[in-house]
Each structure stands twice: as C-alpha cells, then as structure tokens.
Amino acid sequence: MPLRLNLEFAKRFVGEKLLEQVLNYLEGDPKANIPRFLQVLELLTRDPNYKEQIRKLKEVYENDAVVHEYLNKMFSEIDRGMRHKMVCNVVVNSLLVGAARRQQVKEKEGIHIPFTILIDPTSACNLKCTGCWAGEYAKHDQLEPELFDRIIREAKELGIYTFVLSGGEPLLYPHLFELAEKHNDVAFMMYTNGTRITDEVAERLQELGNISPAISLEGFEELTDARRGKGVFGKICAAMDRLQERGVLFGASVTVTKDNIEEVASEAFIEFLITKGVKYLWSFHYIPIGRDPDVSLMITPEQRAWLYKRFRYLRTHKPIQIIDFWNDGELTCGCIAGGKSYFHINARGDVEPCAFVHFAVDNIREKSLKEVLSSPLFMAYQKRQPFSENYLRPCPVIDVPEALRDIVRETGARPTHPGADTVLGGEIGSFLDQRSSEWKRVSDKVWVHRTSTKAPN
C-alpha cells in the first residue's frame, strides 16, 4: 500500500496544510526544523499532558547536547519514507487522533483503552534460547490471518494504532508483511532474534516503513551465542548492517541476568549498538518463567539498584533511547500491564495481562476486543494499580507477588501453559517472596532519596 493512502488517512484528521508542514519539517536542516516540527505538533494536540511533554522536549533539544544529537540522527539516518510513515502512524494517528478516540470510548462506555497491544502471531521459533520467557508455549500455535486482521481493525476503532509483535519469531509468520501493508496506517514494533533478516527482508521492511525491528541479544558474541546458539551473534551483526544501510528504524533488546549485567550496561556495548545503527534499547530483567526457569539468573537487589542508576547515566551521555522495563516504573506510574497501557495476546489467542504473566480468562477467538478489555482479569489488575507507592516496585510478579496471587484467586484465571503457575507457589514462589522483600528494603531507600531530593540519578 503506497505512502499516499497512509497520508490521506492522516489528512482527514489534522488538515492537509498542517500535515504538509509537519512532513516538510522532517526534511532539510534538523537543527532548524526539529523545533519547528515540535511546535506544529504542540499546536495539533489537544491533550494538555502531550502539550507539556512536547514543550519539555523542545527545551531539552535546545539545551541538551545528547538529546540534540539523538534527534538529529533520527532525522538524518532514517529512510525518508519510513520517517514520514512513522510520524503519520505514531505521532498523528496514535498520539493525536488515537488518544482522542481512546478517551471518547472511555467516557462513553467506561472501558479503559490501552495505548498498544502486544501480539504473538506465531509461537514457532527457529532458535531455542536458554530460559526463554515464551519457551513453554506450544510451538504449533498461530493466529489465523483473518483473526489478526480483525484484532487490528477492532483496535483502530478503539483508537489503538501501535502494536508490538513477539512470539515465537514474528518473521516466521507467513502473513506478516501482507497485514502490515494492508494496515498501512498503524505502526508495529517487532521483537525478533534477527537471524531471518536477509537482504530481501530488510528491503521489504524499508519499503513498508511501518515495522521497526528490535533485535534480541545478550551482550557481545560470547554471551549471545552461549544463550542463543553458536553463530547467532554474527547473524545479528549482519542483520543490523542490512537495516542500517537501508535506513530502517530499529532497536535492540537485552535480557539482563546476574551474569551479563555489567556487559550489557557497559559503555563499550552501548557504543557498539550505536555504531551499528540501533536507535533504542529495551532492557528486560530475567524472570523465572517459560523454559527451565532458573532463579539463580535473576539480578540481585544490589545489581538492580546499580542498573537503575547506570542507565540514567547512560541516557545523559549516549545518543540512544534506553527503556529499563521494571526500573522505569516511575516514568509510567507503576505497572503498565493488564490493559492500563498494554496487554498480551499469545499465538493461541489467550488474552494475558502481560508478556510475563501467563494467565487468562478469555480468548480473542471467542470475544471482541472491547469485551476482553472489560474482563474481570483486567479489572482486578487496574483496581490494584499501582501495586506499590514505590514506583521502583511496579511488578506483581517479582516486586509484589502477593498481588498476583490475589488476582488469580479472585478471577479464577487459568495458566496458559504447563508450569505457568510456578510463580505463585513452591520453590519459585517462595524465592520471589524473599527476593521481593529484599528489593523492597533496597528500593525504598532509593525511592525516598529520589522523591525527596528529585535527584537526576
């Protein structure tokens, strides 16, 4: 589907002249045009929170050398067609048009609509990584293309225009590019192991312009190949080169364990990612779920406190966006799962609160998207959020495990694969109780200091 049709959708909502201004400011000198681009966005948005965020971003761009460099690289190094399409889909369709629609649905029907949905189109994967969080899902599950299409259509009706894809390996899903082309007005971020990104796939991603891959790795070659298989790191490097050559917007994803924490948070590794063209990094702490859960791989409370400070330092010194999924609870006012900002649909269609909470009461094959968003499981989640006043303890799995037990008990949610309920009791449950108590002692001190001094690190 050509970019023209994508632009026509955006024009209907913001007006042709304003949209032309927005896209014109994506060309030429970034130093001159980025402030103008942000100024037009501020005029377009009706949400006072978004307006304030845009104002802050303008100020930071003008005064912070690292943010200045990062945004300039986003404008100068991303393919022109992809840059335009992502601005239309993420900024206009999701943040402007979609936000208004989501609020309208909430006010009219009393259903909270999240910003995005995490979807596993397939559970199939060409790797067998140690400790994979999705390793115990059946390997033959797949969403029918008609079902995937329905989910996206219903989501757009509710104001959702951004989707995250996981699995399994999304690039093994045979209908992926067909659906991305059909739904040219939405943006996809795709977690991938990177080994399937050939020249042909990279060219297709550039052509489509609405899929941003986030490639998973564990650090440099030794650590990555130890978990993912011999030769995988080399394939990842080749994939990154292909994407960078074509100006595809892409990121990386790491699972932080007690063994690789220093490497993935080192300046050398971050510089490596930047050199390879990575524009954002997702950091996920290892959680003992999925294939062969091993609590000994979890980072210690002291390591987690160090990582909290370390990534804040790197953000102010390196031109890359780093998202530390659990340690960034203060930026999201706690847990974002359970339909608050996102939820998970696995390849069997089970509707789970989170990628790491493998319990469900509904299946998307049997209900509409609107119906599952008002499920008792999501209601039980949302009435407890935030799970702690200390936003450094956002998670009901590793930070407040008694909350997850209460939710499962209250709603009768069922495990979505064998062994999913080991986080609730037994040796793993007992370990999580102990570890969460230890983290509470450590994080409460950090949180009190953070909130009392508003310290930047």
Domain ranges of the chain: 7-102, 111-345
Q: What is the pLDDT of residue 1?
A: 42
pLDDT digits (tens, 9 = 90+) for 401-440: 999 999 999 999 999 999 999 999 999 999 999 999 999 9
Banded model confidence at residue 14, pLDDT cuts 50, 70, 90: low
Best CA proximity match to 348, nearest among 39, 120, 34: 120
Is the pLDDT higher at 452 or at 360?
A: 360
Integer angstrom CA distances of residue 232 from 195, 209, 219, 239:
7, 26, 12, 10
Burial 136-161, CB ≥16 within 10 A → b, else e: bbeeebbbebeebbbbbebbbebbbb
**Half-sphere CA count of 244, side-chain side, radius 13 A:** 17
Q: Which two tokens stand for residue 202?
A: 């990279």
- Which amino acid is located at 365 in the chain? R
pLDDT at 113 over 90: yes
pLDDT tens digits for 183-214?
Answer: 999 999 999 999 999 999 999 999 999 999 99
Q: Are 191 and 280 in contact (CB under 8 A)?
A: no
User: What does pLDDT average to over the chain?
Assistant: 93
Distance (Å) of CA 207 to CA 170, 189, 443: 18, 15, 45
Q: What are the tokens at 123?
A: 């559970």
Percent of the chain with pLDDT over 70: 95
So what's the architecture of 111-345 in CATH? Alpha-Beta Barrel (3.20)
The owner of tokens 């119906």 is: 371
DSSP-based three-state secondary structure for 116: strand
Check pLDDT > 50 for residue 47. Answer: yes
Over range 232-237, report the average pLDDT.
98
134-192 confidence digits (pLDDT tens): 777 777 899 999 999 999 999 999 999 999 999 999 999 999 999 999 999 999 999 99
360-378 residue pLDDT tens: 999 999 999 999 999 999 9
